[in-house]
Structure 1
Amino acid sequence: MRYRVAVLTKCLAVTIVALVAVAGCGSAVADKQATSSRSAVAKGKQTAYPLAVESCGVTQTYDAPPQRAVTLTSTATETMLELGLGDRMVGTAYLKGRKIGPQYKSAYDKIPVLAAGQPSMEQLLAANPDFVYAGYGDGFSASTGHTRQQLQDLGIKTHLSPVGCTDEPKTLQDMPDELKTIGKIFNVNAAAEKAVKKFDATVDKVKDAVKGSDRPKVFLYNSGTDAPQTVGGWAYASVMIDAAGGRNILADEPLRWGKVSWEQVAAANPDIILIYDYLDPSVESKIATLKDIPALADTTAIKKGNFATISLSLAQPGPRSAEGVEQLAEQFHPDLYPKKK
């Protein structure tokens, strides 16, 4: 609201002049604050509540920013911390196979870890959350003992990242959109805008560097010996490979995760085999497994020893996935996008 202060035009005494001067200053401050407030609203920096948000088919209405959030995956945790929301977090869980980015470590260390894997309903409720945020659908499932409906029946808001929605193709735009959504829910829109600009700038820099180059055929190896677990064209990792100047050999397959045959991989003759680094088992052990697969012996990747790696923390839709695109480009096109020193 803008407050107007009437300033006297005639001064009858020194004391009145002084009062008018003070009033004038107050008017200037009020005008400046009102202008700043209007500007913030115009730029989308203030959330208007009540706010309706749809995530993966569930729409919820927020009357105010959540104050006690729990995150159930590392990507959700890092999204919150990227937006400076560590002080709104009362618990995290499910860091298995992933590392929190060094830029978030000090804030992360102040947040209670409810469980190494998915927390039980009792562990979750003990944190007294008003908002539970998962990066994948298994964060809200009957097997964990807390579905979205169960939590909502208790008055707890839930949010599922777009990547958690099944049967939908993923795009790199999913992450900027998610940053904006969480920013809006928590009324930290300026922080979200800053994070989106940083993310987009990193990805655009990579795309510009590799534009027009030959695109190596890439097979992403997750795990498996009898049949490899990998990603299809609907996976977030697949669009990361594309942005980094590669081509997923299964890009035309309408699936996210799945198993294929080694013969199918060999027929595609990948130039590079990209290995998910889960910390355990090690990348070295996975490379040894791949070298022992007879069907792959004559592929370019095996014959030339062309292996690339990416940590699970960077290969999933979190704010650091832009760094993941950079790391892939450094390995796919070291001449065009040399590794940072």
Structure 2
Amino acid sequence: MLAAALLLPSGGTVHAEPTHYPLALENCGASVTIKQAPRRVVSIGQTQTEILYALGLANRVVGTAVWFGPVAEPYEAVNAGVKRLADNAPSFEAVLGEVPDLVTATFAWHIGPHGAVARREQFSGLGVPVYVSPADCVGKDNSAPGDGVRTRPFTMDLVYRNIRELGQVFDVLPRAETLATELKAREDAAIASMAGRPARDLPVVVWFSSRDVKGDAFVAGAKGVPAYILDKLGVHNVIASDEEWPLVGWESIAAADPAVIVLVRMDRRLFPADDVAVKLDFLRTDPVARRLTAVRENRIVVMDAAATRPGLGTIDGIMALATNLKALGLAR
């Protein structure tokens, strides 16, 4: 168990033991040794970057990459002074060029068995430890190329573990405990806001993007972050696949006839359907999609990409979707 350090509501403080180095961690099936508090971190993934900022560690971050949208508002100023290596996946050479003593990643597809940036062993062979978010590997199989398959549902406990483990790595565990506690309180408040207003188990689909707008869609699977949000609000994900973001044809989506379609909004432009305007145009003009109940009755909700990633924005996603369901009159 980690020693707890929590800012109590009464104003009292429980003090934690400082981190003793070298620190040994089990991370995504690998043993990681941190020799001292890192001073030069490259963060590959917006959610990991924002957690580092929230822990007051922006001055340790020497490079970032993989951005789906603007940085969260509280961190705009500090982020402006941090080098962005790439909007999407950076090269292995670009990461090493910053001489990091730690590399963090949100997703195993960037640093993992099929790493788009590199394999973990390529970094560890050079003496650079890697920390990948537990939310992308605990209860998840990343052995095949792609976004992975969930063997157990995502929960926010994995994000809280992520925060606390980074608190240990950087010897800022009191800050980490405070952040995790505050996030849990916000999550509880968002869920409570729907109490007494059941959404009647509404069928919902979450559309992330598509390689070809008229082709199959990347939609949220049954056990990932969006499914967690839907479950907490009492609505039903029409997609049963355990894949993180399965490709599903519109005929199959039409057969489920979701009452609400959630469109993911992002700044990334890797695929044409990354653009919400493109998604909307397709829904309103495609002969199959335009017949969906959600489209005919204009029950289309836009959710920021940050809400669909395992991080600080997940809580905002719960709150935003609850608000939108109420506005549509779908939550009593």
Q: Which TM-score tier does this pair reach, normalised by the shorter chain?
A: 0.7 to 0.9
For structure 2, list consecutive stretches of 5 or more residues without a partner in the other structure. 1-11, 143-148
What count of residue pairs does the alignment treat as equivalent? 297
Give the direction of change, closer, same or farther, for the CA distance of 1:200–1:229 in structure 2 (3 Å limit).
Answer: same
Q: CA deviation at 1:101?
A: 0.7
Q: TM-score, normalised by structure 1?
A: 0.80
Q: CA deviation at 1:110?
A: 1.5
Provide, for residues 93-139 of structure 1, a one-character-per-residue CA deviation record: whole Å limited to 9, x for no partner: 222x3211110111111212223332222221221100000101232
Q: Is the 8 A contact 1:99 1:313 kept in 2?
A: no
- Where do 1:105-254 residues align within 5 Å? 105-140=76-111, 144=116, 146-165=118-137, 166=142, 167-168=149-150, 169-212=153-196, 213=198, 214-224=200-210, 225-250=214-239, 252-254=240-242
Structure 2 counterpart of 1:88, from 60, 85, 90 = 60
Following the alignment from structure 1 to structure 2, what is the Cα–Cα distance between the partners of residues 133 and 199? 21
1:256 to 2:228 alignment: no
1:277 to 2:248 alignment: no
Q: TM-score, normalised by structure 2?
A: 0.82
Q: Is the 8 A contact 1:244 1:326 kept in 2?
A: no
Q: CA deviation at 1:276?
A: 0.7
Q: CA deviation at 1:256?
A: 1.1
Give the direction of change, closer, same or farther, for the CA distance of 1:134–1:207 in structure 2 (3 Å limit).
Answer: same
Bigger shift: residues 162-171 or 146-155? 162-171
RMSD: 2.3
Q: CA deviation at 1:271?
A: 1.0
Q: CA deviation at 1:162?
A: 2.1
Letter aligned with residue 105 of structure 2: A
1:333 to 2:326 alignment: yes
Match of 1:6 in 2: none
Give the direction of change, closer, same or farther, for the CA distance of 1:268–1:151 in structure 2 (3 Å limit).
Answer: same
Q: CA deviation at 1:66?
A: 1.3
Q: Is the 8 A contact 1:232 1:258 kept in 2?
A: yes
SS at match of 2:306: coil
Match of 1:22 in 2: none
Q: CA deviation at 1:337?
A: 11
Letter aligned with residue 117 of structure 1: N
Match of 2:49 in 1: 77
For structure 1, list consecutive stretches of 5 or more residues without a partner in the other structure. 1-38
Letter aligned with residue 191 of structure 2: K
Q: Is the 8 A contact 2:191 2:318 kept in 1?
A: no
Q: Is the 8 A contact 1:66 1:131 kept in 2?
A: yes
Structure 2 counterpart of 1:268, from 250, 256, 259 = 256
Q: Is the 8 A contact 1:151 1:158 kept in 2?
A: yes
Q: Is the 8 A contact 1:45 1:188 kept in 2?
A: no
Match of 2:307 in 1: 314
Q: Is the 8 A contact 2:282 2:289 kept in 1?
A: no
Q: CA deviation at 1:146?
A: 2.5
Q: CA deviation at 1:145?
A: 5.2
SS at match of 1:210: coil
1:44 to 2:32 alignment: no
Match of 1:101 in 2: 72
Q: CA deviation at 1:45?
A: 5.2
Letter aligned with residue 324 of structure 2: Q
Q: Is the 8 A contact 2:110 2:117 kept in 1?
A: no
Match of 1:63 in 2: 35
Q: Is the 8 A contact 2:263 2:300 kept in 1?
A: yes
Bigger shift: residues 104-113 or 162-171? 162-171
Bigger shift: residues 238-247 or 122-131? 238-247
Report which of the two has the higher share of helix.
Answer: 1
Q: Is the 8 A contact 1:244 1:332 kept in 2?
A: no
Q: CA deviation at 1:43?
A: 4.5
